[in-house]
Amino acid sequence: MDVTGTHIWYYFICKREVWLIAHNIAADQDDENMDIGRFINEQTYQRNKQEVLIGNIKVDRVRREDGQLVIGEVKKSSRYLESSRYQLLYYLQTLKKMGIVARGELLFPEEKRRETVELTSEAERQLDRAVEEIRIIARHPVPPLPEKISFCRNCAYREYCWAEG
Ligand code: SF4
């Protein structure tokens, strides 16, 4: 199974959602978050986006600084910071495997905030663990049990997980 930035993003929010996405379980058709990709997109700051495709990675900004490539992800808010951080780290790791050394920048224009993201060996170990666990979760015949988290309110699967609750 190809692990994508979307899997990584959800892994740090809800492992059950990783399973549901990996199994192409259709979310509630009437839900405004029905399109899984759309939610992440809505978390992304659309204005002045200049998406660049590198291999199979789509990044928002690319520039050079002091001879080093800087990959920028522009987000609407820092609410899902850990997920955004690891998604960007995953891009950096994928680029590294292509022989491209880069550093990352998370940009939150509405908060006038910027965060540098560096691919350390500890971050790579965490990512490797996440990728391995995503594959294990996806191979399971049933999804992990739901856990009520604040994200459930925005989740297209909330009827699926909490219809009884
Ligand atoms: S509703 Fe909550 S538990 Fe269910 S998939 Fe979404 S975030 Fe996960």
Q: Closest Cα to residue 52, out of 42, 38, 41, 63?
A: 63
Strand partners, 65: 68
For residue 60, the 8-state DSSP code is S
pLDDT by residue for the chain (165 residues), tens only, comes to: 889 888 999 999 999 999 999 998 877 656 555 555 555 555 555 555 667 777 777 888 889 998 889 999 988 889 899 999 999 999 999 999 999 999 999 999 889 999 999 999 999 999 999 999 999 999 999 999 999 999 998 888 988 899 864
Under DSSP, is residue 80 helix (H, G, I), strand (E, B) or coil? coil
Q: Which residues line ligand 1 (CB under 6 A)?
A: 14, 16-17, 20, 146-147, 149, 151-152, 155, 157-158, 161
Question: In angstroms, what is the span from residue 89 Cα to ligand 1's centroid?
Answer: 24
Residues 140, 142: Cα–Cα separation, whole Å: 5
Q: Which helix (H) or strand (E) holds 69?
A: strand 68-74
pTM, entire model: 0.84
| Contact criterion met (CB below 8 Å) for 58 and 95 | no
